[in-house]
Structure 1
Amino acid sequence: MKAREIAFKVLCDIEDNNNYSNIAINKHFKNLEITNQDRGLATELIYGVVENKYYLDYIIDKLSKIKTQKLSTYVKILLRMGIYQIAFLDSISEYAAVNETVNLVKKYDKRSSGFVNAILRNVIRNKEDVLDINIDSKIMYLSTKYSYSPWMIKDWIKNFGEEFTEDLLEANNEKPSIYLRTNTLKITRDELINKLEQGGIKSFKVPTVEEAIRVENLKNIENNDLFKEGLFTIQDISSMIVGKVISPKEKSLVLDVCSAPGGKSTHLATLMNNTGKVVARDVFEHKLKLINSTVSRLGLTNVEVESFDASEIDNNSIDKFDYVLADVPCSGLGIIRRKPEIKYKAKAELKDLPSIQSKILYNASKYVKVGGILVYSTCTIQDVENISVINDFLKENDNFELVPIDEINVDLDNQDKGYLKIYPNIHGMDGFFISKLRRVR
């Protein structure tokens, strides 16, 4: 199967089943024997089409009498793919973009091949006019150009201002770097870099976190021998900073109440040098399997994986733990570069999150010993899910206080106040919020 057909099938899966692109890609790519070149093009097409959906549909609606929402899934996806190649991929000739797309239409919806051919040729003929966005409203213009639900643009302009918002939209369009966390129980960062470079993988030290490596051209990670040997795991810098902020002492008792997929739990276990115990909890069976598989691949013996719902109170855990992490379910608006579907979430989908987050934080706080540390984190940039949740919690729980964050060698705003706000456009990493609290009595 060729790259474009693979991309088409994955995009249909995402469209019809509301799947995240990374999950759909993993599912469809799993047992495929394809070249790295085809894998690269298919991935580029999938993410490119998902990231630019509103803009591509705007172009289709300009040229087609039948509007996008009335088109069949097959025709809509193939038009988006064809237009994306013409508008964004200089490496692909316009002839190939049209020809290959029309061949796929003939295979999957033959009677629409003339229609698709005409639209794509029209895009090429009137490229400048067709690709231009003529919308007066600033919010709708940005919503179309960058493909976001308009409410997000409106919300960000209100909270951050227009200039910051446009910077953020630009940054979210960039391809995210891939970062590895060295498994320091098995290898040093320098030794791992040497092994990666021997395998032809460009590797760079990351100053922010001493076990972190940025890599280029690392393909097909799950089949990489160094990965299988447990010498590293994939984790973004922001997520690693959470572990550094907690910075657990050896032989401690640690609880991660929302652990999946296990990156932070296994980091904490590694920072404790495989001593003490990290209790890693989650509520879904498939996620617990994922945590277990990472724990065993990394050779950790100090992690206990348990099934428990963080929104329920566990009376057996009260006052028991030295450190508790509540990395709560959130809107994910800090990781749009990695999960572009988040851009299309409806505002109503997120309205219950702060109350869920507050409940989990409250429960988690009950498990902290006097003098112990509670860390609350999210991968979103929304204050309503972040500092507002913390401020509300502190009003009701005066036995906790925010404590300065001095465990990381990076200058982030509010470190001295006990919380970090990380933005992709300012810090070049996933958007995150991390706050550190101590139980004082």
Structure 2
Amino acid sequence: MRFHHNLLQATVDALHQIFNDGKYADQAIQKILKRDTRWGSRDRGFIAETTYDIVRYKRLYAEIASVKEPFKPADLWRMTAVWIVLKGYEIPAWEEYYNTPVRRIKGRFDELSSIRKYRESIPDWMDELCVAELGEELWTAELAALNKQADVVLRTNTLKTDRKTLKEKLQALEIATTTDDRFPDALILEERANVFQTQLFQDGLFEVQDAGSQTIAPYLRVDSGLRVMDSCAGAGGKTLHLAAIMENKGQIIATDIYKNKLHELKRRARRAGAHNIESRHIDSTKVIKKLDGKMDRLLIDAPCSGIGVLRRNPDAKWKLQPEFIEEIKTTQQEILQSYSRVVKSGGSMVYATCSILPSENEGQVEAFLKSEAGSTFTLQESQSLLAHKDGFDGFYMARLLKN
């Protein structure tokens, strides 16, 4: 591979923003990619994928390069040198790479590869927590899968088209996709492409949504005439999926504590042609009280650690702290306790997270069922998705019936 100095400089600059300035990886990369309009799709892809790769393996590369945070520019260049050597490419004859110890890099990699926390590049506390909750064997397999680059998966918007037709229209744009029978609306890109720039996306024929995430809305078992609440709707990925399943009939009440996310949901709903969604900002407990016992279905896509989606957000493992996980578990139980009241007798709810930790999943459901608020509910079914078994992001979902 022939490297271009300006592309690696852009990568180093993005890494500085992520590691030293605390920027989110996707935002830092988007900002860097706007720097030079002459960059083509291949150049932009190189910057993004190289940056994500080094973020993913920060601990390993920093250890091999013998550098520590906060990283100086020279330290970040040394980490890119490690990336180049371990990818099997020849080091460019640039000033930044003068006297790069290629043999030492390979030797240190061989030494560290036998130690999971270095090989898979994970903080000590997270490694210990996940071993305690999942066991050595399962966590080792799952962590390796979480370090693989995530596929780009589309969800067909069945309000406007069907999967077969969408696949053909994408093929006409030279965007090849594959299908998976487990996910009836999903199209998986064979090669990464900027699908957001296509007219098909602008016309609302699809959304970008991981296949694992696409299992949650159907798990709620909604029908077209029901009254449904999406309690932590955010920007509305699952809300839009519910609208499509319900064929724009019935009512979906989408709530969130963040107004800006609900504004984004409205924008996406217009593009998708989803007309049965009403958004409500949670600014007090009155919003929930008004809906007591009135909803046929409730979706709680709860805030969580996000450990199940580290493939998609590799910088999260460097931003997460053990204190946050304890705090979020308290929040999860509070949400279950307060929102479950909206479910009518004979109705049901789904509690879901993008975490693989039993303490955020089965543990929360068990605690809820033992509480006064959960005494009228019974667990119908639960399901876990794991990256190393299912090939997509990690999720948990449980469906509970109100007796």
Partner amino acid for 1:216?
A: E
C-alpha deviations, 1:104-146, integer Å up to 9, x for none? xxxxxxxxx5xx633xx11x143432323359xx8xx211111
SS in structure 2 at match of 1:174: coil
Q: 2:348 touches 2:400 (CA, 8 Å); kept in 1?
A: yes
- Residue among 350, 366, 374 paired with 2:341: 366
Measure the CA separation in 1 of the matches of 2:209 and 2:306. 16
Q: 2:19 touches 2:71 (CA, 8 Å); kept in 1?
A: no
Matched, 1:424 2:401: no
- Residue among 389, 394, 399 paired with 2:364: 389
- Residue among 194, 201, 218 paired with 1:244: 218
Partner amino acid for 1:199?
A: L
Bigger share in helix = 1
Q: How far off its partner does 1:381 sit? A: 0.4
Question: Structure 2 matches for 1:57-206, cutoff 5 A?
Answer: 57-61=62-66, 67-69=67-69, 71-72=71-72, 74-88=73-87, 90=88, 92-94=89-91, 96=92, 99=94, 102=95, 113=96, 117-118=98-99, 121-122=100-101, 124-134=102-112, 141-206=115-180
Measure the CA separation in 1 of the matches of 2:196 and 2:36. 13
- Residue among 6, 22, 29 paired with 2:10: 6
Structure 2 partner of 1:406: none
Partner amino acid for 1:217?
A: E
Q: Aligned in 2, Cα 1:60/1:370: closer, same or farther, shift over 3 Å?
A: same
Measure the CA separation in 1 of the matches of 2:162 and 2:80. 43
Partner amino acid for 1:401?
A: T
Partner amino acid for 1:336?
A: L
Question: How large is the Cα RMSD of the aligned pairs?
Answer: 2.1
C-alpha deviations, 1:227-273, integer Å up to 9, x for none? 11100001111211111111211121111111112110000011100
Structure 2 partner of 1:22: 26
Q: How far off its partner does 1:398 sit? A: 1.5
Structure 1 partner of 2:44: 39
Q: How far off its partner does 1:394 sit? A: 0.3
- Residue among 368, 376, 397 paired with 1:399: 376
Measure the CA separation in 1 of the matches of 2:8 and 2:311. 22
Partner amino acid for 2:19?
A: E
Determine what percentage of the aligned residue pairs are the same residue: 27
The count of aligned residue pairs is 395
Q: How far off its partner does 1:30 sit? A: 5.2
SS in structure 1 at match of 2:307: coil
Q: How far off its partner does 1:22 sit? A: 2.1
C-alpha deviations, 1:313-363, integer Å up to 9, x for none? 721111111111111110000001000122222212211111100001111
Q: How far off its partner does 1:312 sit? A: 8.0
Q: How far off its partner does 1:372 sit? A: 0.9
C-alpha deviations, 1:130-183, integer Å up to 9, x for none? 323359xx8xx2111111011222223333332222211211121111111101
Q: 1:325 touches 1:364 (CA, 8 Å); kept in 2?
A: no
SS in structure 1 at match of 2:171: helix
Q: 1:147 touches 1:343 (CA, 8 Å); kept in 2?
A: no
Q: Aligned in 2, Cα 1:31/1:220: closer, same or farther, shift over 3 Å?
A: farther
- Greater mean deviation of Cα atoms: 303-312 or 428-437: 303-312
Partner amino acid for 1:68?
A: K
SS in structure 1 at match of 2:75: helix
C-alpha deviations, 1:185-221, integer Å up to 9, x for none? 1111100010111111111122112111111224222
Q: Aligned in 2, Cα 1:293/1:143: closer, same or farther, shift over 3 Å?
A: same
TM-score (norm 1): 0.84
Measure the CA separation in 2 of the matches of 1:304 and 1:399. 28
Q: 1:334 touches 1:379 (CA, 8 Å); kept in 2?
A: yes
SS in structure 1 at match of 2:244: helix
C-alpha deviations, 1:284-321, integer Å up to 9, x for none? 23322221221111111111122215988721111111
Q: 1:373 touches 1:437 (CA, 8 Å); kept in 2?
A: yes
- Residue among 199, 202, 221 paired with 1:225: 199
Question: Structure 2 matches for 1:345-360, cutoff 5 A?
Answer: 345-360=320-335
Q: Aligned in 2, Cα 1:7/1:306: closer, same or farther, shift over 3 Å?
A: farther
Matched, 1:436 2:395: no
Could you list the runs of 5+ residues in structure 2 that have no partner in the other structure? none
Partner amino acid for 2:379?
A: L
Measure the CA separation in 2 of the matches of 1:253 and 1:32. 49
Q: How far off its partner does 1:283 sit? A: 1.9
Matched, 1:50 2:55: yes
Q: Aligned in 2, Cα 1:254/1:206: closer, same or farther, shift over 3 Å?
A: same
